[in-house]
Amino acid sequence: MKVASIGSHYGEEPPLSGTKGSGAIFFSGCNLRCVYCQNYQISNEEVPARIASQSDAGGRGTRYDESELADELLKLQERGCHNINLVSPTHVANQVIKVLVLAKEKGLKIPIVYNTNGSDAVSVLRSFEGLVDIYLPDIKYSDDEMAYKYSGVKNYVEKNREAIKEMFRQVGNLAVDVAGIAKKGMVVRHLVLPNGIAGSYESLKFLASLSKDIWLSIMAQYHPCYKAKEYPDLDRRINSAEYEQVLDWVEELGFKNVLAQELESSEVYLPDFKAQVTFKEQAAI
């Protein structure tokens, strides 16, 4: 396996990052080809080394065998991380299963997070049952034409929804401890895209049909990068009207557990649609 970076990550949703960080394993490569990929330096083999920001970027990375990577997971546990966060593991799923089995045999006890773009085969996900505690999938699109045009994937909508159903079957809604740290369950991420490309309302309706208690992470961090400037509909940030519309739909559909981002930053806050309290303020309370 090629791994771009390993370390304590504080940029995830508060129930995952907490105060001690999420133990993130960023795998090199990806099974999608999003033209607006915000991690393109490590996700895409096609990125020239001359524009890569790090020596191990551009789809490259340090190679690990299963035993070596299992030891790295144990080091993250020793460091005090709240969980092991497997970022973009889909294309190396078979190896990752072996890593998790080895690490657990060696004493790994903290929760395992499967952090995915949501284009996962149900048959593969079933192989992770009992190994993964928390699923963190994207729901990117509600239209297959958009998915193929902007992420190079066919039949994304059906595959993504079946995958989310399977993840939900395995772990259910998110459970947190008294400190607000996630222990088991699912959080679904949705990145709002300009010009309605993501088809947010239809995706939210699907999730509401599963459970109004599903934890949502509504993300405002989109900005044109990688090849986005070649696509006029993607060549700008989202505006406040677009983002507020999605949050209005979230409220309309009755979701109870929602994480959202400030439009102009990546700070995460916990809105109840009456008073918006930042995570830092919540922690102080």
Asked whether the predicted pLDDT for residue 275 surpasses 70, the reply is: no
Look at the chain and report how many structural domains it folds into: 1
Residue type, 82: H
Residue range 245-267: mean pLDDT, rounded: 86
Asked whether the predicted pLDDT for residue 25 surpasses 90, the reply is: yes
Q: The dihedral of CA 202, 147, 222, 261: what is its sign?
A: positive
Distance CA 4, CA 61 (A): 4
| Per-range mean pLDDT, top range of 39-53, 202-216, 260-274 | 202-216
Q: Is the pTM of this model over 0.85?
A: yes
Residue range 162-170: mean pLDDT, rounded: 98
What is the domain-level CATH number for residue 195? 3.20.20.70
Residue range 202-216: mean pLDDT, rounded: 97
- Nearest Cα residue to 128 out of 171, 176, 83, 65: 171
Asked whether the predicted pLDDT for residue 81 surpasses 70, the reply is: yes
Distance CA 1, CA 18 (A): 28
pLDDT band at 29 (very low <50, low <70, confident <90, very high): very high
Distance CA 86, CA 274 (A): 34
| Residue range 38-70, pLDDT digits in tens | 888 888 754 444 434 433 334 568 999 999 999
Domain that holds residue 255: 2-284
Residue range 127-139: mean pLDDT, rounded: 98
Radius of gyration, alpha carbons of the chain: 18
